[in-house]
Chains A and B, each alone.
Chain A
Amino acid sequence: MSRDRFERRLFAVLRPLVIAFLFLITAFPFLYMLMLSVRDIQELILEPGSLWPRDFTLDTYVDVLTRQGFLIFLRNSAIVAVASVAVTLLISIPGAYAVARLRFFGRRQVHFLFLAVYLFPAIVLAIPLFVLLTMLGLRGSLVGLILVYIAQTVPVTVYMLRNYFETVPRSVEEAAAIDGCTRLSTIWRVVLPLSKPALMATGLYAFMIAWNEFLFALLFLVERRESWTVSLGLSQLAGSIEIPTTVLMAGSVVLTLPIVIVFFASERLLTQGLTAGAEKG
């Protein structure tokens, strides 16, 4: 058998194996998460190796949402995420338009600033912000957290949006200007309607950051339980012995499901945006 034929046969066998392996290591843990969230803790301790629950129960979800306070955490996370998305878009749309279209003093240096913020370690930033919020007595308030998320996402979203705005033909904008549009109304009436996919991708990026973030939520909110986000709530309760693991698994599902749904609902848009703008993670 020639080397070519040998290799082709080898890869014809290897490829499905690799694919099956990849599917297993990514899908199995999340299926396990789901399975664990609908069973009783006694059953898990007696039969840790069984995958399929003997009795399905949704009591774990009722427990985690009401008694453990995840409904409140969900509300906090939603407030933080939605506010971050709204303000991020509001700030980065004009910014991206300026970088894409207008010649102004310092336009080149702006890119350097964005790259620096994008690569900048959060742990360094955490110290002064923690101290500042403590001094201002703002620890425990969601506003400080939202501000930090906006500052971390805006440089990336400006970059993502700029790349898209540059593909909008200038002639369309010029036509709008001749028809009497001011600059702002040109952005509002012409550029934005043409940029819907990019706006979606940008909004989702900001949503993902705000929903998944942990370090700043921990530093700013840990002392006020009413302000915990879902991520922070799960991490704090995971250490306690009183709450059964299966209930916490239900909490993990509650935390994971929204972001996974949002991601796959608009996955194509987002992955294009991610590889263009490159997510921080």
Chain B
Amino acid sequence: MNMRAQEGRAGVALISPTLVITLVVVVLPLLWAIMLAFQDVRLINIRQAGLFGHYTLENFSYVMSEPGFWSALVNTLVYTVAGTALSIAIGLVTALALRDRFRGRTLVRASVLIPYVAPVVAVAFLWETMLNPQYGIVNTWLSEPIAFLTQAKGEFLGIEVPVALLTVIAFEAWRYFPFAFLFILARLQALPAELDEAAVVDGATPTQRFRYVIMPQLWRIIALLSVLRFVFTFTKFDDVYLLTGGGAGTEVVSVRVYNFLTARDDIGASAAQAIVLAVFLVVFLVVYLRFFAGGTREQG
């Protein structure tokens, strides 16, 4: 046996544990989830639903004919777009503010990372407590207590606003801006200092330097962050479920998937919704990438 063939066999042998576990725990279950979406299955009759079971489109027509599904999809989109945009915007401001040294930077930097490092269950409970209308600290600062997490609609400066949905979005921005901050700061610190210095010599003001020197070098990382945050937030379950349980106008599709699976015990409809959610995710991503690819071509 020659060296090359031996190398190939060793490679396959060393990678195979990785492949086996991803295949068994991710790829095969995914295929099964797709099959389940096309069958009428509940936990009680699951043993009868085999590979050659009765396939039908009923789950999809049932799920998509429910008005709750479409409002959940709209909520998901609003929550995702706003959460992604806010977390990246705050992350960018944080990275710019913490870029240069100052006394206590290590402490502030550590503090800023905690919301992202801390377990979601703990921070969701913390927010619930702080926003509690009876004894929450935030409501003691307000003239009139606001039920941030249980009130679907409220008035702010005469405009009707979705209170709970906005609160959930604020939570999302607070929890994930450190993620954007880490990426953007890493990029900022890798930028060559000469460009900025040259701009100073040329008499560019701080905002001009930001607009014409720094931002053009950050667009790629911001685009990448947008995709990552969009993908993760669009199918996110924990945050909304823990904060509101999907009530008060905050129901997102992933929470519906969970409720169909556990409370209604309707596996087929649950899987169908999850598949539709994934398809919408892919569609939005393709649209975004098209749009973005077109944008860069115009610039370059």
**A residues lining the B interface (CB < 8 Å):** 3-4, 7-8, 11, 15, 18-19, 22-23, 25-27, 29-30, 32-33, 36, 44-45, 48-49, 51, 90-92, 94-95, 97-99, 102-107, 110, 113, 117, 119-132, 134-135, 147-148, 150-152, 154-155, 158, 183, 208, 211-212, 214-215, 219, 230-232, 234-235, 238, 245, 248-249, 252, 255-256, 259-260, 263-264, 267, 271, 274-275, 278-281
Query: Is A32 touching B242 in the complex (CB atoms < 8 A)?
Result: no
A183 — nearest CB in chain B belongs to which residue?
A: B10
A252-B94 CB under 8 A given contacts A151-B25, A155-B22, A259-B118 = no
- Give complex CA distance A134, B137 in Å: 42
Query: Is B14 touching A95 in the complex (CB atoms < 8 A)?
Result: yes
B112 — nearest CB in chain A belongs to which residue?
A: A26
Which one of A124, A147, A255, A267 contacts B275 once the chains associate, using CB atoms below 8 Å? A124
With a CB–CB cut-off of 8 A, which chain B residues contact A255?
A: 119, 121-122
With a CB–CB cut-off of 8 A, which chain B residues contact A113?
A: 19, 22
- Asked whether any CB of chain A lies closer than 8 Å to the CB of B155, the reply is no
- Give complex CA distance A65, B93 in Å: 40
Query: Is B267 touching A26 in the complex (CB atoms < 8 A)?
Result: no
- Give complex CA distance A120, B46 in Å: 25
With a CB–CB cut-off of 8 A, which chain A residues contact B228?
A: 278
With a CB–CB cut-off of 8 A, which chain B residues contact A94?
A: 14-15, 17
A256-B275 CB under 8 A given contacts A48-B140, A104-B11, A128-B30 = no
B283, chain A: closest CB distance, angstroms: 14
With a CB–CB cut-off of 8 A, which chain B residues contact A48?
A: 134-137, 139-140
Query: Is A135 touching B47 in the complex (CB atoms < 8 A)?
Result: yes
With a CB–CB cut-off of 8 A, which chain B residues contact A245?
A: 129, 135
Which one of A102, A212, A281 contacts B8 once the chains associate, using CB atoms below 8 Å? A102
A126-B258 CB under 8 A given contacts A94-B14, A147-B21 = yes
- Asked whether any CB of chain A lies closer than 8 Å to the CB of B238, the reply is yes
Query: Is A123 touching B277 in the complex (CB atoms < 8 A)?
Result: yes
A249, chain B: closest CB distance, angstroms: 7
With a CB–CB cut-off of 8 A, which chain A residues contact B299?
A: none
- Asked whether any CB of chain A lies closer than 8 Å to the CB of B274, the reply is yes
With a CB–CB cut-off of 8 A, which chain B residues contact A29?
A: 115, 123, 126-127, 130
- Asked whether any CB of chain A lies closer than 8 Å to the CB of B60, the reply is no
Secondary structure of the A side of the interface? helix
The number of inter-chain residue pairs (CB within 8 angstroms) is 260
Q: List 16 A-B contacts (CB under 8 A).
A: A29-B126, A48-B134, A94-B17, A98-B10, A121-B231, A121-B254, A124-B235, A124-B274, A126-B261, A127-B261, A127-B270, A150-B21, A212-B120, A235-B121, A249-B129, A260-B117
A34, chain B: closest CB distance, angstroms: 11
- Give complex CA distance A66, B168 in Å: 33
Query: Is A123 touching B237 in the complex (CB atoms < 8 A)?
Result: yes
A95-B29 CB under 8 A given contacts A26-B111, A208-B117 = no
B187 — nearest CB in chain A belongs to which residue?
A: A275
Given contacts A18-B93, A19-B108, 17 further A-B contacts (CB under 8 A): A22-B97, A27-B114, A104-B12, A110-B15, A117-B22, A122-B235, A123-B258, A214-B119, A214-B120, A214-B242, A232-B121, A234-B125, A235-B124, A238-B125, A238-B128, A255-B121, A280-B232
A187 — nearest CB in chain B belongs to which residue?
A: B14
With a CB–CB cut-off of 8 A, which chain A residues contact B114?
A: 26-27, 30, 260
- Give complex CA distance A54, B213 in Å: 53
A122-B237 CB under 8 A given contacts A23-B111, A48-B137 = yes
Query: Is B278 touching A121 in the complex (CB atoms < 8 A)?
Result: yes
B152, chain A: closest CB distance, angstroms: 20
- Give complex CA distance A251, B292 in Å: 45
A127-B11 CB under 8 A given contacts A7-B206, A281-B176 = no
A37, chain B: closest CB distance, angstroms: 11
Query: Is B130 touching A32 in the complex (CB atoms < 8 A)?
Result: yes
B146, chain A: closest CB distance, angstroms: 14
- Asked whether any CB of chain A lies closer than 8 Å to the CB of B32, the reply is yes
With a CB–CB cut-off of 8 A, which chain B residues contact A124?
A: 30, 33, 235, 274-275, 277-278
Q: Residue-by-residue, is B1-40 near A (CB-CB < 8 Å gives 1, otherwise 0)?
A: 0001001111110110111011011100110110010000
A128-B32 CB under 8 A given contacts A95-B17, A103-B8, A104-B11 = yes
Query: Is B21 touching A104 in the complex (CB atoms < 8 A)?
Result: no
- Asked whether any CB of chain A lies closer than 8 Å to the CB of B102, the reply is yes
A149, chain B: closest CB distance, angstroms: 10
- Give complex CA distance A103, B12 in Å: 9
Q: Which 9 pairs from chain A and chain B are nearest by CB?
A: A104-B11, A121-B235, A151-B25, A102-B11, A49-B140, A95-B18, A128-B29, A98-B14, A94-B14
